[in-house]
Structure 1
Amino acid sequence: MPQTEAPDRILLIKLRHHGDILLTTPVARTLKSRYPRCEIDMLVYQETLPLLLNNPDISQVWTLDRKLHGWRKILAQLALLRELRKRRYRIVLHLSDQMQGAFFAKLLASEQAIGFDYPKRRKSPWRRFFTALAPLAPSNTLHTVSQNLLALQPLGITPTENERRCVLPVPEPSRNEVRALLRERGVTGNYLVIHPASRWFFKCWEDDRFAQLANTLADDGWHIVLTTAPDQNEMDMAASIMALTHSDRIISLAGMLSLNQLAAVIDGARLFIGVDSVPMHMAAALNKDTIALFGPSKIQEWHPWMTRYRLISAADYGELIEPDQVDTATRQRYLANIPLAPVLDACRALLAETRQE
């Protein structure tokens, strides 16, 4: 049922990973645009909080700690629920498929609780937790941002083009910290960012090819900044790549950056080069030119959103396992089909084009 009176408080629930959280921000952006006086809150997993702390569309971020178990988890969630009930939300939108979120939506929404019509939930009590279910597009037919925004259909809202953009503010202190880090390492002009890693290694390219790419672009005259998360496996990957490079124009900040600092590094770059990962979505949110290397991911759902990009798919260069058949815990990398040449050509093509903001 379309909303006829502006709500005073709305809660968005998104209990997923970092990239999913970033791709949910257009929902908050649209709601804040339509209801400027409304307070938009979000409930997310604790580790994804930094992506939302500086978002001007969000009033308060509530978190669940996935590290808690047993009675500690139960007590923490009961305490959270008590605090959330004090907010008296008129509308709650649950944007993922966990039953836990459905319980929260049912208990917290005073007027409308909206979820998605997941086929796998149709034989469960799922429908009873909501006043309305938004449509779910068939797999790999709609970008994740567009899918998230379908949750607004029961409210009678169709987002504008500008409302569909992701929101990732970069705090000024993080910019200053990054400028100092880069200056200490001799990077004072234009530079490119290479983020070779993903939390899932099956999405990663070969170390030697990333090194060759960095070497060639450095020989072209660019400074190269290599980044990864502060995860030992990712830092080991960066070390392996750096060992194969030969230019002092290539530096590594692997494992050294917070999420806000990483955003600042990406925002200052001329070009972002990476795989299907959170930093790739951060680059798109910051409207940076992006080179995206994809393996067995659902491209229509996860490609860079609303920025200029070139996508190189391993499926175009050989046989590739289907996304739904991948064991996400595997150490196998599925981007080995991708040769160096098309990636280098894509980089040079974007760098040669004039950037229009």
Structure 2
Amino acid sequence: MMNNQLNTPELRILLIKLRHHGDMLLTTPVINSLHQHWPNARIDVLLYEETRDMLAAHPDIHHIYGIDRKWKQLGTRGHLAKEWQLLKTLRKQHYDLVVNLADQWRSAIITRFTGAPVRIGFAFNKRRSAFWRYCHTRLALVTNHTTLHTVEQNLTILEPLHIEPQTNVSMCYSADDWQGVEAKLAEKGVTGSYIVVQPTSRWFFKCWDENKMAQTITALQQDGRTIVLTSGPDKKELAMIDTILSACPTERVISLAGQLSLRQLGAIIDHAALFIGVDSVPMHMAAALQTPCIALFGPSKLTFWRPWQVKGEVIWAGDYGPLPDPDNVDTNTKERYLDAIPVEPVVNAARRLLS
């Protein structure tokens, strides 16, 4: 019955995921799988507005709808008006299939309101209610999710559709994105091979000691390598970059910290000889782009969040010292759990990947 409902020449699909940037990147195998199975389908995505740039250049996405968390600033009436407008807009698209990867009640309500004849979600343990089931026509099992990477977890939602999963993660950017990066590099005197180093994360407990990062950079500078430092625009991240720069020789190192858009960051990583970074979005981007990558990991769940199909090495702080249970970490702590990692294995890994 479900296959008959999806047997239409102008199939319309909506994929819903309401999470952070890295989560959005790791939904792309589902998008790629849907496109591979139905190459003529129109695939739309609903996400949080601030993550739009992560998927905006994906060639198989027809349209992106965003929920802007700033709507709350409009007051209750203004906020509800925006939500209602979005609901009506989505219902007018007459979707045939909604794939709800999200776990929020809001996503279930939206899924149901679209009126799509086929609506697939996950049978999350925390959502064992009649209303969650009512919002979806089929629920994919999550019984083995604790042993699967996030990419694999996402792909299990396709099981009710009997679609062959495509496991590649896609980090997409435009030619203009790379041209903008080239101009910035040229302004800084960088025209040849370079290494991208992203030492920062929005969670500082995921970061490595600044002096150790500076020592690593210095060793690579002495090898004749050029280093490009990147980070987000947050003041704390920029301060970390300044601390690292002050401890390095001045030659063959530049900073583009806070100066790149998300897609420009993808472009500069794609053209790099090597990426060195911590557990953060740029690390996932490097893995997706198959740029040689050194990923420094602390108390994150490696099973879920290791760089997917990485071309490189993961260096885990747990191999050098005790780590807390990931579920017990205070994300606002000032602890630097990665500090147990010595400089030598990072430099050696970099030299191996560059040889």
TM-score with structure 1 length normalisation? 0.94
Match of residue 125 from structure 1: 131
Counterpart among 39, 42, 52 of residue 39 in structure 1: 42
SS of equivalent residue, structure 1 residue 335? helix
User: Where does structure 1 lack aligned partners over 5 or more consecutive residues?
Assistant: 353-357
SS at structure 2 position matched to 1:176: helix
Secondary structure of 2:348's partner?
Answer: helix
Judge which range, 233-242 or 167-176, deviates more: 167-176
Structure 1 position 208 matched with structure 2 position 211 = yes
Q: Which letter maps to 2:252?
A: R
Please, which of 177, 180, 200 is the counterpart of residue 183 of structure 2?
180
Alignment partners' CA distance in 2, 1:186 and 1:6:
55
Contact 1:3 1:156 in 2 (8 A): no
Aligned with residue 113 of structure 2, among 107, 131, 144: 107
Matched, 1:93 2:94: no
Is 2:155 the partner of 1:149?
A: yes
Alignment match of 2:350 (pick from 343, 347, 350): 347
Partners of 1:6 and 1:38 within 8 A in 2? no
Inter-partner Cα distance in structure 2 for 1:49 and 1:126: 26
Q: Is the 8 A contact 1:2 1:156 kept in 2?
A: no
SS of the equivalent of 1:89 reads coil
TM-superposed CA distance for 1:135, in Å, is: 1.9
1:265 matched to 2:268: yes
Aligned equivalents of 1:315 and 1:85: distance in 2? 48
Taking the aligned partners of 2:124 and 2:16, their CA distance within structure 1 comes to 16
Give the deviation of 1:138 after TM superposition: 4.5
CA contact (8 A) 1:45 1:64 kept: yes
User: Post-superposition, which runs of at least 4 consecutive aligned residues in structure 1 deviate over 3 A?
Assistant: 4-7, 137-140
Structure 1 letter corresponding to 2:3: Q
Alignment of 1:245-260 (within 5 A): 245-260=248-263
Structure-2 residue corresponding to 1:288:
291
Q: Secondary structure at the match of 2:99?
A: strand
Structure 2 length-normalised TM: 0.95
Q: Which has the higher helix share?
A: 2
Listed as ranges, the gaps of 5+ residues in structure 2 are none
For 1:220 and 1:114, the matched residues in 2 are separated by 53
Once the two structures are superposed, residues 238-272 of structure 1 have per-residue CA deviations (whole angstroms, 9 ceiling, x without a partner) of 11111111141011111111111111111110111
Shift, 1:2, TM fit: 5.6
Contact 2:295-2:314 within 8 A present in 1 as well = yes
Residue aligning to 1:355 = none
Query: Which moved further from structure 2: 18-27 or 71-80?
Result: 71-80
Summarize deviations over 1:266-288 as a string: whole Å, max 9, x none: 11101110011111111111111
Q: Output the CA distance in 2 between the equivalents of 1:169 and 1:93.
A: 21
Secondary structure of the equivalent of 1:114? strand
Shift of 1:211: 0.6
Secondary structure at the counterpart of residue 340 of structure 2: coil
Map 1:194-233 to 2 at 5 A: 194-233=197-236
* Residue identity in the other structure for 1:205: W
Secondary structure at the aligned position of 1:67 is classed as: helix
- 2:241 and 2:334 mapped to 1: Cα distance? 16
Query: Percent identity between the aligned chains?
Result: 48
Mapped pair 1:3 → 2:7: no
Q: Could you tell me which amino acid in structure 2 is paired with residue 129 of structure 1?
A: C
1:312 maps to 2:315: yes
> What are the Cα deviations for residues 290-345 of structure 1, in whole angstroms up to 9, with x where unaligned?
10000011111111112312001111111101110011222322111111111111
Distance 1:75 1:231 in 2: 32
Aligned alpha-carbon RMSD (Å): 1.4
